[in-house]
Structure formats: C-alpha cells, structure tokens
Amino acid sequence: MRISALPVLLSTGCALSLSACTFTMSLTTHSFGRADLERTVEHVLQQEGELEIVAVECPNSLQIKAHALTRCMLQKGDGSIIGATVVVTEAAGKRGRIDVAVDAEQPD
C-alpha cells in the first residue's frame, strides 16, 4: 500500500483531501518533528481506511530533503505491529511532500 501526503499547517492540524496532507514547518527547522510525523502518518492511514491503525511510533524526525526517509512502526487494531517507510518525495524550504509505504503483511 502506498499513500502520499501533501504539504498542511501543523499548528492547525491536518486537513485531508484524497489522503493528502500538507505540512508547514517552523522557520527555524527544516524537518518534520517526530510527534507531528507520527500524528500525520496515523491520520493519513486512517483516512485511507485499509488498515485500522491505533498507534504510530517514528523514532526520528524526518529532514525535509528530497529522498530523506525514516521507518515508523504501526500498531494495528488487533495489536499486531507492522512497519512503514516514510519518504520525502518533494522538498521546498520548510515544506515537503511525503509518501508512506506500509510493509506487506506476512501470511499466518
């Protein structure tokens, strides 16, 4: 599953349009903060509706730089954990577009 997130004002939350989310960072930072990244990944995945995600943990912030990436762990509604890769697909100063790719689930 691949989900794109477009650049929203984090201070006012994240407005989605077709599973897209826009970020604007503070003037001093050019990265998606860890907590904001976790909330946004969770929100985007919930809007997509294919997975029931109850928690997202991203161990690092994500630099707003094309091709920068980080891994996040997703806790699903059934308690299982699955990984996701978050990649910056576009970067323009303090704004960036991310793509979330959820790992394929292994059959039981």
Query: Residue-wise pLDDT tens for the chain (108 aa)?
Result: 555 444 333 332 333 323 344 454 444 458 889 998 998 888 778 778 778 889 999 999 999 999 999 999 999 989 999 999 999 888 888 888 888 999 987 655
Residue 56: per-residue pLDDT: 96
Distance from C-alpha of 12 to C-alpha of 40, rounded to nearest angstrom: 12
Provide the whole-model pTM. 0.69
Question: Which of 80, 71, 59 has the alpha carbon at shortest distance from 102?
Answer: 71
- CA 18 to the chain's CA centroid: 15
Residue 29: per-residue pLDDT: 52
Identify whether 38 is part of a domain: yes
Residue 107 neighbours by CB under 8 Å, 6+ apart? none
Specify the number of domains making up the chain. 1
Residue ranges with strand state E in the chain:
2-5, 23-24, 31-32, 53-57, 62-63, 69-76, 81-92, 95-102
- CA 43 to the chain's CA centroid: 8
**Domain of 41, in residue numbers:** 2-101
Identify whether 106 is part of a domain: no
Identify whether 54 is part of a domain: yes
Identify whether 107 is part of a domain: no
